[in-house]
Amino acid sequence: MISFPLAFCVLAAYSTIVRKHKQIQDQQEQIQRLKSAAIEMRDEQLHKQLEEDQYGKAEELHRNKMIEMRTTQLLSKDLKLYEEALDQAIVKFHSMKMDEINQNIRDLWHSTYRGQDIEYIEIRSEVEERSERRRSYNYRVVMMRGDADVNMRGRCSAGQKVLASLIIRLALAEAFCLDCGILALDEPTTNLDRENIESLADALVEIIRTRSQQRHFQLLIITHDEDFVQLLVRSGCIQHFYRISKNQDQNSKITKQSTAFLSV
C-alpha cells in the first residue's frame, strides 16, 4: 500500500504538471494569435505596397500588353504581305522595262548600224538571289545574229562599242526620261566611220522630230566634228549652236552662232 504522504506528493506533482501544461497551451494559443496577426498585418502591408507600386493593376497592364503584342503581330504580317506584293511588282516592272528598252535598242540599231555582221544588240539581265530579301541584277550586252548571241564585251570594234553605248543611252532616255526633255551627248562620233556617223545623225534627227512636241525638249551635243553638225543642220532640226574658242588672251569664250554659218 502507498502511504499517505507519498500519495499526497504524487497528487501535488500531477497538479503541477497539469497546471504547467495549461500554461504551455495558453502560451501556444497566444503565440498563434500573434502569428496570425503578424501574417495579416504583413499581407495588408504587402497589398498596400503592391497598390502603391501599381502592381494592383497587373491584370489591366497584362491585357493592354497582350493587345499591343497582337496588334504588332498583325502589323508584321500585313507588312510581310505588302513586301511580297511590292517585290513581285518590282520584278514585273523590271521585266516590262527591259522589254521596252530592248525594243528601243533594236529599233535604233536597225536604223543606225550599216554593217551586216550584227543583226541587233540587246541587254540581258540575270538575277542573283543573295539572300531571302535581297536580289541583285547583273547586266550584259549581247550581239545577235540569227539564233546565236555573243557577249559584246571584248568581241566588237571600237566603233561598234561607241555606237552600242550611244544607242543604249538613247534607249534608256526613251524609256525613263520622256518628262525630262534633255538629251546630252559628249563626242558621240568618236571612233565611228563616216557611214555610221551619217546613220547616227539620221537617228538623232528622228528622235528630235519625235520629241519636237515635247515641252522644254533640248538636245545638247559636245563635238569637234563639224561635218556631224552639218549633217544635223541639213535636216532643218537645229536652229543655232554654240562655238567655244580662245580669245587673244587665251581665255575661253562661248559664241552663239546661226546654222546659216555652216550652210555657207
CA 77 to chain centre: 19
Low-confidence residues in the chain, pLDDT < 70: 1-15, 18, 49-56, 128-135, 178-181, 214-215, 259-264
**Residue 84's closest CA among 135, 133, 137?**
133
Contact 111, 202 (CB under 8 A): yes
pLDDT of residue 2: 46
| Structural domains present in the chain | 74-263 (3.40.50.300)
pLDDT of residue 217: 72
pLDDT of residue 244: 84
- What is the model's pTM? 0.57
Which tens digits make up the pLDDT trace of 227-247?
A: 888 888 887 777 778 888 888
CA R_g for the chain: 48
